[in-house]
Structure 1
């Protein structure tokens, strides 16, 4: 009787051991399944963002690992199905075999989970990069939407101020298809593409907003430039009309060499005034039609035309004034030049018993040039303009020598 009870307890313990092995395998299966689901989410995150070779290798590795897990999981399920631990006639051999096979299934599941965890750890850099991009995605899309709204509002303000802003409106309308794609989301167009699109839309929208905000001030500035340049054209026309009388006096009183380079100034001024007036009219028309770039371009042309001829018109009167001065008193020009030479000579001798030859030589030449220029005025029809040009050139040479001396001393030479 005792022997029968002992056998029964032993059989009951084997059943309990087999059941414990089954429970442990079930827990291992659950943990593996959970880990696989977590890794599947990580792979989806990486695949949505990254198409690099490293990401492709990770995807291939995940597929291979998935096949291994399927095999282990299938073997576990087959083992569980093969052993009914609740039936009454469970014998010792069957219970032992069930426990051993279920224990092996658990060990296989644990090894697969360990492989899965090592693989998941290797994905950390790729996953971190992908998650960073995903974290940037929603704010970037929102910034793009807000940028478009700000651009639209700025354009409305421009129109309220009586300006059309057609070019800006056209650029804003061109962003509409991009907004549609942003609204369709990264699931349709991919995370990198959507992120790049959002940043591009924001940048372009901000440019439109900034230009729209500047447009009223730009219009005012163009209006001011129109008035200013119109005044300059009128003033130049008036001044240009006075060039011919100045040339007449130059011809009457001075030699040909003193005025021949100014002969074309009246014609050049007349042509420049006519061209500037025409471009000014074009600028005014472009401004009325709110073609801001064209208006700005025409005004720049007007200014360039005026700048080119303005100096020539001034040169005639300045030439007459300077020639009058030098013809009355050439010595003043000579003394101004001699003073510059003597000042340079004193500088060259400072701290020296003899000057540096490369400094002394051009200063000696300058003295000789000045003497020759003064002597050339003794003829019947002196070329006072050549005299003024030469004295200016002498002073320029002297100034270069002074600069060289100071540079040498600054460097300890």
Structure 2
């Protein structure tokens, strides 16, 4: 019997296991002995009775020994299952406890073996006292084996949660590894299909090649790399392979999208070149009809717009080169830069025309802007007084300041050269300050009003 995993049987243990078959052999041999005329010296009924009882004790001890050996072997499989998956302190304690039980098993087994070796129950002239002593020793050995077996059973029962956890992980292992393999195969097939369409997909091929060492480790198995590590590796490989597959399948669509964006952004750049050329006439009219404060911040727009368009066209050429070389990330990044440049240009060019439109409107009828702002203030004042006899100073003060600020803005329209742009920016600022007061009131009242 082995006490710890991997320890070989001693010769005496194997000899003892052989003894299990002896009662049957003896039973078969007795009739032949009588038939052949063999004789045996018998020393009375009491001696033979003691011999029989000792033999029964020996058989019972052998059965107990076999049961304990079988239980130990079965439990060792469970321990190995746990240690293959779990390296937690609880699992390490289980191993230590099993080794301690192994030492107890060795001691009980040695006691049994010594009892068997010490008494030859088939010896002629076996005295009754010797047989009785043998029976006592063998019964004692059997009882000790049974006691240790009960300890082993209790220990095995306590392993339920750890074994369940380990078996769950082991059950996940094979499917996870198979998913990883299938994922790599699908990614490889997707890359082959892309290449057949004329796209190289070098970056995706490099990512897939980087997974080859991981596949080698998966093929080497959990016995070499551990179950938790193998599970984590399989899940990661499957995830990364899936990413390669998805990107490979989308690559033709991405190439078509980049081609479309190249055409679209070229067209937009050309349109902005035309629009940028219209800023100078707008500025000329602004200079002629309004004060410098109304247009001086827009003087840089024509030059800046032209420079932005030139930069955009340069980046478009670089993006086209990247696309032709199938450097997809570079092409995408360059097109994003072009878009940002054109967006900025669009905003600045639009600002000049928008400025002229707003100044024309306020010059023609400033009262509309005044009424709009006063309405916002009065609406906020009504809200501040709802459910109150006197306004909250935290809200009344900024609203009073908004009234005063509007009045000051109106006075800037007086005189020979009104600053309409200052008036417009002031009324916009007043409405924003009023909106902040309204938001504060509604937040404090839980959004009821």
TM-score norm. by structure 1 comes to 0.88
- Identify the match of residue 105 of structure 2 among 58, 66, 69: 69
1:284 to 292, 296, 320: 320
Instruction: State the shift of 1:212 in Å.
Output: 1.9
1:15 paired with 2:45, answer no
Deviates more, 1:132-141 or 1:371-380: 371-380
Q: Relative to 1, partners in 2 of residues 1:116 and 1:98: Cα closer, same or farther, differing over 3 Å?
A: same
Separation in structure 2 between the aligned mates of residue 408 and residue 123 of structure 1, nearest angstrom: 59
> CA offset at residue 336 of structure 1?
4.1
- 1:50-94 Cα offsets, whole Å, 9 max, x none, are 223332332233223223322322332232233222233222222
Q: In structure 2, what is the Cα distance between the partners aligned to 1:44 and 1:11?
A: 49
Cα distance in 2 for partners of 1:42, 1:400 equals 69
Offset at residue 6 of structure 1 (A): 11
Measure the CA separation in 2 of the matches of 1:267 and 1:63. 86
Q: Write the distance in 1 (CA, Å) between the matches of 2:142 and 2:395.
A: 100
Cα pair 2:42 2:125 within 8 Å, conserved: no
- Is the Cα contact below 8 Å between 2:81 and 2:163 reproduced in 1? yes
Cα-Cα RMSD:
2.8
Whether 1:148 aligns to 2:184 is: yes
Determine whether 1:385 maps to 2:421. yes
Q: Give the distance between the partners of 1:335 and 1:62, measured in 2 at CA.
A: 90
Paired with 1:408 and 1:53, the residues of 2 have a C-alpha distance of 54
For residues 402 and 116 of structure 2, what CA distance do their matches in structure 1 show? 115
Q: Shift of the alpha carbon at 1:135?
A: 1.7
State the match for 1:270 in structure 2.
306
Show the counterpart of 2:219. Answer: 183
Whether the 8 Å CA contact 2:64–2:145 is kept in 1: the answer is yes
Distance 1:344 1:188, change over 3 A: closer
Which of 208, 214, 228 is residue 250 of structure 2 equivalent to?
Answer: 214
Local SS of the residue matching 2:44: helix
Q: Which deviates the most, 318-327 or 199-208?
A: 318-327
Deviations 1:333-374 (A, max 9, x none): 444445555555666677878766666665555555444434
Q: Tell me, what secondary structure is at the counterpart of 2:412? A: helix
Deviations 1:217-258 (A, max 9, x none): 222222222222222111111100111121122222222111
Distance 1:67 1:409 in 2: 76
Secondary structure of the residue aligned to 1:38 is helix
Per-residue Cα deviation, 1:189-237 (whole angstroms, up to 9, x for no partner): 2222222221221122122222223222222222222222222111111
Cα deviation code 1:308-335 (max 9, x no counterpart): 2211111111222222333334344444
| 1:272 CA displacement | 0.7
2 CA distance for matches of 1:43 and 1:34?
14
| Structure 2: distance between partners of 1:105 and 1:335 | 110
CA distance in 2, matches of 1:55, 1:354: 73
Gaps of 5+ in 2: 1-40
Q: How much does 1:141 deviate?
A: 1.1
Matching of residue 128 in structure 1 with residue 196 in structure 2 = no
Query: 1:270 Cα shift?
Result: 0.9
Matches of residues 153-164 of structure 1 in structure 2 within 5 Å? Answer: 153-164=189-200
Aligned mate of 1:93, from 98, 115, 129: 129
Moved more, 47-56 or 246-255: 47-56
Work out whether residues 43 and 125 of structure 2, in 8 Å CA contact, stay in contact via their aligned partners in 1.
no
Number of aligned residue pairs: 409
Q: How far off its partner does 1:179 sit? A: 0.9
Aligned counterparts of 2:387 and 2:92: Cα–Cα separation in 1: 80
The equivalent of 1:231 in structure 2 is 267
Greater helix share, 1 or 2? Answer: 1
Rounded to whole Å, the distance in 2 between the matches of 1:76 and 1:352 is 99
Q: Counterparts of 1:184 and 1:270 in 2: how far apart (Å)?
A: 63
Moved more, 378-387 or 146-155: 378-387
What's the offset of the Cα at 1:110?
A: 1.4
TM-score by length of 2: 0.82
Unaligned runs of 5+ in 1: none
TM-fit CA distance, 1:407: 5.8
- Out of 377, 391, 394, the residue aligned to residue 430 of structure 2 is 394
- 5 Å-filtered alignment, 1:296-375, equals 296-341=332-377, 365-375=401-411
Whole-angstrom distance in 2 between the partners of 1:45 and 1:224 = 58
**Separation (CA, whole Å) in 2 of partners of 1:99 and 1:356:** 104
Query: Is the contact made by 2:402 and 2:433 (CA closer than 8 Å) also made in structure 1?
Result: yes
